[in-house]
Structure 1
């Protein structure tokens, strides 16, 4: 079998596993939806309209929806790339069993990443349908929101898997949460990046979620321009580095 075929076997194994665990599959999707309704719709009634770079005014729910779409992509990817991967690596020894077959560390890394992208894509499509139904999308550029979210999922999947290879026990997942909470709050998700102090803005712009939010917001609100090329390039570079580190670390852990 080709490398992609062997990775597909890993994906198939995950699909069969989650057939009877759809409730666990659903949990990561609900968090951005709750944020949208509680803050975007509820608090948004008090905030009023938000100005965009082109001078247009949009409701706070319209402003938040692209960020929550990016957050859906992050959640779908990062849960599988961290918690689930750690359990399979350290406790179930699922990957050790796979190595008794033609599947190798590279195939495991690629297969797990593809599976997390499928989960991320399912979250994104569901959230995008909710946004369309609520009238929160204002541009035909929105059709590119799912491919863009796949790129976001790629980054968080590859970087999450790389980080997981250094995790020793479940207590270490506190460090993952310490990273995810600031990413969620400080990535121009709830406020325009211009609202941050100048000294903090450059920190915000280091966040991969910020670049994902910038892409999704431009697509859903119709402000797409050449600046998106920079955001895409940053995410591609981050994802490529994360995947390379994951492959090396898995090979070191599984073939020792």
Structure 2
């Protein structure tokens, strides 16, 4: 396993040096299609307005990470911040990466240049994360304006949201290499929507049945939501390092698989 990991991550034949060119190409493409970037931003905002403000007016307080009562808006806002980062990364890495791979043959054209499959894989993962970061940044500003961010530690929430974006970007890019047709794209949503609802996003994990709680811990979104919730509420506990570590390990493992898949699919 370790030899496989080293073999994949090794930047052979200059692979990895040209990642900025992949990012530049994507940025130039979206200059004409920038409205597409906005499509996935609104869903978590609507949830914030409906749940955080609407339902929050009926829920006086909920139990925070440290056991203290917090306003419902402040509880749900960081989880939806994680959802924003997830949405941007997943939408870009599954749909758009798959189209470039299977239909437009964009990556095949890139290989006619000095770019290597590893350049393309790292570039696509990074670009997808940047879209998630844009969503997260805009959402964080809106949540703060609505009063859902009570602690100055929230300044660290945006870098933490990058971890969420990288994890789901690497996962989405890997999944894109196995997607066969448009119907398979629906399966992505079948996974994403329940994950959003069942990752302690809207309710503390203690509300779930004890038999279900271990399954919640398996959700990457749960770790992202818990990490961001601790930061935005100013509850800095050692368990935040565990949540961050899970996201980092997931990013590395999924990134390795994505790189291997790109090397296999883009062989000259």
Same fold (TM over 0.5): yes
Partner of 1:147: 159
- Partners of 1:87 and 1:221 lie apart in 2 by 40
More helix per residue: 1 or 2?
Answer: 1
> Structure 1 residue 208 and structure 2 residue 223: aligned?
no
Q: For 1:224 and 1:250, how far apart are their aligned partners in 2?
A: 39
Number of the residue aligned with 1:138: 150
Matched, 1:237 2:249: yes
Runs of 4 or more above 3 Å deviation: 1-5
Task: Give the 5 Å matches for 1:46-195.
Answer: 46-195=58-207
Q: Deviations over 1:87-141 (max 9, x none)?
A: 0000000000000001011000111111112111111111111111112111121
Where does structure 1 lack aligned partners over 5 or more consecutive residues?
A: none
Name the Cα RMSD after superposition. 1.4
SS at structure 2 position matched to 1:199: coil
Task: Check conservation: 2:15, 2:117, Cα contact below 8 A.
Answer: no
2:9 maps to which residue? Answer: none
* Cα distance between partner residues in 1 of 2:156 and 2:15: 28
| Partner Cα separation in structure 1 for residue 225 and residue 178 of structure 2 | 28
Q: Following TM superposition, by how much is the alpha carbon of 1:2 offset from its aligned partner in structure 2, in angstroms? A: 6.1
Please, what TM-score do these two structures have when normalized by structure 2? 0.92
Secondary structure of residue in 1 paired with 2:41: helix
Aligned residues: 256
| Matching residue of 1:15 | 27
Partner of 2:235: 223
Q: Secondary structure at the match of 1:166?
A: coil
Paired with 2:208 and 2:236, the residues of 1 have a C-alpha distance of: 22
Q: What 5-or-longer segments of structure 2 have no aligned partner?
A: 1-12
CA contact (8 A) 2:16 2:118 kept: no
SS at match of 1:183: helix
Question: Secondary structure at the residue paired with 2:201?
Answer: coil
Alpha-carbon shift at residue 184 of structure 1 (Å): 0.5
* Post-superposition CA distance 1:171-229 (Å, at most 9, x none): 11122112101110110001101100000000010000000000000000111211111
TM-score by length of 1: 0.97
Give 1:142 shift: 0.6
Task: Say whether 1:33 aligns with 2:45.
Answer: yes
